[in-house]
Amino acid sequence: MRNRIAAAAMTVLFVLLAFVAVMVTDFHDRAWPQALRAQAQVTLDFAQAPLDNDAARDLVASVGRAHHLGLLKRVPDLDDPSREVFVALAGQPASSVSWFGDQAPSVVVDAARLAHSPADGTYLVRDASDLAEAIADLSTHGVAVVRTDASVVDTVRHLLLEPGFAAPVAAAALLAGGLAVFWIASRARSRALRVLAGTSSWRVQAQDLGGFFAVLLGCTTVVAAGGCVLVGVLRGWVYVPAYATSLGLLGGVAGAAFAVVVPLVSMMAWPNPDLYAARRPPVAVLRGPAAVVQAVALLALLVCAGPAWSAAHDAADQSRQLATWNSFADQVALAFALGEGPLDVIAPDLARMTSVAERDGAAAMSYTFDAASWSGDFRPYSAISIVNPGWVDLVGHTLGPHALADADTPSTRQMVRRELGAQLDLLRRGSGTDGDDVFAALRLLTPAPGVSYPVLRGGTGGDLIFRSDVLVLVAPTISAAFDDTNLTSIATTANIVLTGVEPTQARLAAAGLSIDDLAARGIDGSITPLYMAEQGILRAQYATYRARSLTASLIVLAIAFLIAAGVNATISALIHARRDLPLRLAGATWEAVARPRALADLLVGALLAAVALAIRHADPGALAATAAAAIVGLSVLYASHGTARAAVFTRLTHRHL
């Protein structure tokens, strides 16, 4: 019976690890699609390369073909921003890409999809045998390349740095300690009797340890084999290697805990027949280890609960923020492959085109001054962003019409004029507008409570930042705040976005800014609309998945603690059975029987909870999560003692123990 209890507990332990391994495999497949058999990825940056976007894209494709890399680029599906597609730069290797998780398959399309996408970004490599030479070729053209090879070990290491994922693994290691104490405690009497019968103490130790690790190996083999078969049958055999590797690594953590704790506990409970002469139960020596394991398990729960909740909450909040990128799915920024001189020539034409687009509701602008980089005093705000009504409407599709609240006060206007008055005059110096009139026309808004408002960082190429304390200055029009030259300048840094590729191309042609029109004016180069939100949408997809997975890991942590509490309560019931059974037969309730031990655990638990709560949490939510975990944990510990004693009594009366 004791072997069955230990085997069941070990099986539950490794099923817990198998579930975490499923999460690891899902994450690994998100980064390295197993259906594509991706071996590596390269992140390319053409900022220092003297190439326009078309030439950069052609360079990547030619290098990929020359070195047989099988390059694919992951981009969002423009028809459904919650999904993604893969672009094959040389042929089309598959019609669709299946996933380990529950998301719908992604399609593989040809290189035409990248006609209006930036060449920068991350590319998957299906054959990395000649990747080093390919990187050398790209580097000779001034392309900055970062190589990352696919590795399940790196995925596990990355996830274990997340408190939400590390907590269940730590709980599994603690559960291993509890099982070790249970195993030795259940054999304490027989160990002493075998020594009393003349068996060597070392032989007794070897027999018990050998039996323990035999059961452990059997449970591990059954769970691992069953998990691999289930993954292969239900999800596909292509995922089995990644799943088996992640389960092996996680099982290694539990195995290391067993290898340390089991021999240590066995040595602490050295079989000694003198206990009979002293009329002490052999399991008495394990009271200390059992209490330590239980206390450490509770402390681990309390210490991990706050950071794990914060990680899951932050991931969910980030997911909601980055979902704003979906509003920009059809928005494009202009890529200028021109020299410095032509920008001044085309500035009036570009300004007129932008004004027409703005009147049609197809142009949005945001330019943000960050207090840290500006070295100004924007208090109580961390940044000030100049936007046009088109930006407010665009972001409002996701955040709603009440995302911004009025912030127009005399002190705020005074601060804006003090910190940015000269800069605002400089930005519109050639527009012919009156500075006082423009300043008076500005609407001063700030995010409503609980809202992180997205704005574009000034001069950084379309980088969205989310702030809950940004001051938003809504100018009547873009041209009211920027003259032609400065409007063109912020267009080159993607601080102006336009709606749709084809409508923007038509607007460029109508303004005389097409390639042919520029060539007729003696300007060598092009202005190309490129989707500005592709990488942001991919980050939003990943953040949404990460939030869901971290929430699942919190559930796993709670289950692990319940299992550990149950095992530890059972150990305590076995140790105190001689005292408990007469009390129960005398009519005492199980709650009354378990009360002395339960109250002692509550006292220790309360001290541990005080220690955990004393740890400073920057997030008030983490502090509340720790307090809630303390209340639930202490309640579980108290209730588990009575339940475990009743179960032990039932097994004894039926002669099952």
Pairing state of beta strands 526-531 and 331-337? Answer: antiparallel
pLDDT of residue 241: 92
Are 12 and 64 in a shared domain? no
* Amino acid found at 275: L
Say if CB 14 and CB 219 are below 8 A apart.
yes
- 13 pLDDT more than 80: no
Q: How many Cβ atoms from other residues are within 10 Å of residue 237's Cβ? A: 11
- 384 pLDDT more than 60: yes
Tens-digit pLDDT profile for residues 252-279 = 877 887 787 777 777 766 766 665 555 5
Helix (H) or strand (E) holding 472: strand 470-474
With respect to residue 159, please indicate whether it lies within any of the assigned structural domains: yes
Are 396 and 380 in a shared domain? yes
- Long-range contact list for 212-219, CB < 8 A, 24+ apart? 212/6, 212/180, 212/183, 212/262, 213/258, 213/262, 215/3, 215/6, 215/7, 215/10, 216/10, 216/255, 216/258, 218/7, 219/7, 219/10, 219/11, 219/13, 219/14
Nearest by Cα to 510 from 388, 362, 390: 362
Nearest by Cα to 101 from 234, 237, 288: 234
Averaged pLDDT of the chain: 80
Beta bridge partners of 227: none
Q: Is the dihedral of CA 533, 539, 543, 544 positive or negative?
A: positive
Cα 315–317–323 angle (5° rounding)? Answer: 100
Residue 152: burial class (beta carbons within 10 Å; 0-12, 13-18, 19+): buried
**Domain of residue 643, residue span:** 292-324+534-656
Cα 209–211–212 angle (5° rounding)? Answer: 65
Cα separations in angstroms, 398 against 20, 310, 386, 390, 391: 33, 24, 20, 14, 12
Helix (H, G, I), strand (E, B) or coil at 154: helix
Are 310 and 320 in a shared domain? yes
Cα 357–360–361 angle (5° rounding)? Answer: 90
Beta bridge partners of 121: 44
Nearest by Cα to 5 from 166, 182, 185: 182
| pLDDT band for position 446 (cuts 50, 70, 90) | very high
pTM of the predicted structure, to 2 decimals: 0.69
Are 607 and 481 in a shared domain? no
Tens-digit pLDDT profile for residues 193-242 = 777 777 787 887 788 788 888 888 888 899 999 999 999 998 889 999 99
pLDDT of residue 654: 64
Cα 280–282–285 angle (5° rounding)? Answer: 90
- 20 pLDDT more than 60: yes
Are 365 and 461 in a shared domain? yes
- 387 pLDDT more than 90: yes
Nearest by Cα to 549 from 15, 16, 22, 12: 22
Are 114 and 190 in a shared domain? no
Q: Is the dihedral of CA 335, 337, 338, 339 positive or negative?
A: positive
- 182 pLDDT more than 80: no
Say if CB 97 and CB 106 are below 8 A apart.
yes
Helix (H, G, I), strand (E, B) or coil at 22: helix
The total domain count for the chain is 4
Are 278 and 297 in a shared domain? no
- 547 pLDDT more than 70: no
Are 346 and 470 in a shared domain? yes
For residue 111, give both structure tokens: 């290189």
With respect to residue 519, please indicate whether it lies within any of the assigned structural domains: no
With respect to residue 138, please indicate whether it lies within any of the assigned structural domains: yes
- In angstroms, the CA 219 to CA 288 distance is 28
Tens-digit pLDDT profile for residues 55-108 = 888 899 899 888 988 889 888 776 776 677 888 887 655 567 888 877 778 888
Domain final residue, candidates 125, 149, 173: 149
With respect to residue 517, please indicate whether it lies within any of the assigned structural domains: no
- In angstroms, the CA 257 to CA 17 distance is 14
Q: Is the dihedral of CA 80, 86, 90, 93 positive or negative?
A: negative
Percent of the chain's residues with pLDDT above 90? 15
- In angstroms, the CA 573 to CA 587 distance is 18
Nearest by Cα to 70 from 133, 134, 127: 127
- In angstroms, the CA 571 to CA 566 distance is 9
Say if CB 44 and CB 121 are below 8 A apart.
yes
Are 269 and 257 in a shared domain? yes
> Which of 111-125, 309-323, 526-540, 584-598 is predicted with the least confidence, judged by mean pLDDT?
309-323
Domain final residue, candidates 456, 473, 499: 499
Helix (H, G, I), strand (E, B) or coil at 119: coil
Are 570 and 651 in a shared domain? yes
Are 145 and 46 in a shared domain? yes
For residue 171, give both structure tokens: 């709980």
| pLDDT band for position 357 (cuts 50, 70, 90) | very high
pLDDT of residue 255: 80
The DSSP letter of residue 616 is: -
With respect to residue 99, please indicate whether it lies within any of the assigned structural domains: yes
- 643 pLDDT more than 90: no
For residue 193, give both structure tokens: 């009797």
Q: Up-side HSE of residue 370: CA atoms within 13 Å toward CB?
A: 13
Say if CB 588 and CB 277 are below 8 A apart.
no
For residue 10, give both structure tokens: 């070990």
Domain final residue, candidates 100, 131, 149: 149
User: If you compute the radius of gyration of the chain from its CA atoms, what whole number of angstroms results?
Assistant: 33
586-610 average pLDDT score: 81
Are 99 and 200 in a shared domain? no
User: Higher confidence at residue 177 or residue 284?
Assistant: 177
The DSSP letter of residue 208 is: H
With respect to residue 436, please indicate whether it lies within any of the assigned structural domains: yes
With respect to residue 317, please indicate whether it lies within any of the assigned structural domains: yes
Percent of the chain's residues with pLDDT above 70? 80
Say if CB 475 and CB 388 are below 8 A apart.
yes
With respect to residue 403, please indicate whether it lies within any of the assigned structural domains: yes
Tens-digit pLDDT profile for residues 123-153 = 999 888 999 999 999 998 888 999 999 888 8
